[in-house]
Amino acid sequence: MGIELGVRPYQRRFVSPLQTAHGLWSWREGLLVRLRDSLGRVSYGEIAPIPWFGSESLEEALQFCIAQNGEWRGETIPERLSATQFGLGCALAELAEAGCLTGKEPAIVDVCGLLPAGEAALDLASQRLAQGHRTLKWKIAVQAIADEIRWLDQLVKALPPDAHLRLDANGGLSLAQAEQWLMACDRINTDPQTAAIEHLEQPLPSDQLLAMQDLGRRYQTAIALDESVATLAQLEKCRAQGWRGVVVVKPAIAGSPQRLQAFCQTYRPRLVFSSAFETGVGRRAALAVASRCSSACSAALGFGTQGWFTDDWDTLTPAELWDRLQ
């Protein structure tokens, strides 16, 4: 008998549906996997796909797991199943290390707090600061640009000068709008008395890498790629095409954790690690990968997602959560 593979689907509801460039996101769906070896040692992993971000669909991940017939025989996981590569890759590594990834989450210096899109960010900002966040992230390209830039100015004035703000357009801007935003960011960033804009995340759609490189040369405020580098294969491609700026990496959908680590060690890219709204199982594994790549990563981690769901799963151990799903 090899390694026993169990898989259990989960569904969890967001307290408030998230506004994404692809509509409202109300339920986070994914899979927990459990491996058990012949010595009875157990490890858990999470497959948390975001298909509109470039990973496989939940259905494809589930099909792959079901096709294993309850036993892991070391089959190669196809590249397009990037979330499956991560979930099973972490569970296998944990089993091999006999559980050294379990236990507490790695210590985190700074976690980025999320703000809701639109004017609501102004109300929530003080709450996020009170929770200890010094880096906040705000979704833009959701409402009229003139309104959003006006709210940005108000938001920056309301934040302490040592705070940092990340703006995330999710690829939703035109070139002219991106220029308007970058002008506003550069104007804000020339004032040392106010909070700084750390970066503008994915201003243009993911296929417009050259245009974003050009923007990066013309404005002071950094541009970070996110949707353009959802998977390791895309990350490698952007690097080959000359991108040396900031990249946002969501380990849960990037692919093999070992390959991601090797990439980071070889090229030392400017990384911001980010959540894919996974459960504690995927979160712990993603943070472990982030901390192993930490020499390349000094920016606040984008993992401020606890408390976004209606359930109490954040308080459960992997084993408790697994039992809850049966």
Q: With respect to Mg ion, which residue has the nearer C-beta, 198 or 201? A: 201
Is 104 part of the annotated catalytic residue set? Answer: no
Report the nearest approach of Mg ion to the CB of residue 117 (Å).
Answer: 12
Asked if 226 interacts with Mg ion (CB under 5 A), we say yes
Asked if 148 interacts with Mg ion (CB under 5 A), we say no
Q: At what angle do helices 82-96 and 257-267 cross, to 10 degrees?
A: 90
Asked if 168 interacts with Mg ion (CB under 5 A), we say yes
Report the nearest approach of Mg ion to the CB of residue 302 (Å).
Answer: 8
104 contact partners, CB below 8 Å, separation of at least 6: none
What is the rounded CA–CA span in Å between residue 79 and residue 73? 18
Q: Which of residues 38-77 bind Mg ion (CB under 5 A)?
A: none
Choose the binding region for Mg ion from 32-40, 140-148, 225-233, 308-316 (rule: CB under 5 A): 225-233
Query: What does the block give as tokens for 298?
Result: 């000094």
Report the nearest approach of Mg ion to the CB of residue 100 (Å).
Answer: 31
What is the rounded CA–CA span in Å between residue 290 and residue 189? 28
What is the rounded CA–CA span in Å between residue 42 and residue 36? 4
Asked if 94 interacts with Mg ion (CB under 5 A), we say no
In 104-229, DSSP assigns E strands to: 111-115, 135-139, 164-168, 196-201, 222-225
Choose the binding region for Mg ion from 100-108, 166-174, 279-287, 304-312 (rule: CB under 5 A): 166-174
Q: With respect to Mg ion, which residue has the nearer C-beta, 85 or 170? A: 170
Q: Are 132 and 75 in contact (CB under 8 A)?
A: no
Q: With respect to Mg ion, which residue has the nearer C-beta, 101 or 229? A: 229
Asked if 198 interacts with Mg ion (CB under 5 A), we say no
Q: With respect to Mg ion, which residue has the nearer C-beta, 196 or 223? A: 223
Q: With respect to Mg ion, which residue has the nearer C-beta, 32 or 297? A: 297
Asked if 201 interacts with Mg ion (CB under 5 A), we say yes
Return the bridge partners of 25, or none. Answer: 18
User: Would you call 314 helix, strand, or coil by DSSP?
Assistant: helix
Report the nearest approach of Mg ion to the CB of residue 250 (Å).
Answer: 9
Report the nearest approach of Mg ion to the CB of residue 167 (Å).
Answer: 10
Sheet holding 222-225, edge to edge: 270-273, 246-249, 222-225, 196-201, 164-168, 135-139, 111-115, 301-304
Size of the residue set binding Mg ion (CB under 5 A): 3
Is 157 part of the annotated catalytic residue set? Answer: no
According to DSSP, residue 59 is labeled: H
Where does this chain bind Mg ion (CB under 5 A)? 168, 201, 226
The catalytic residues are 139, 250
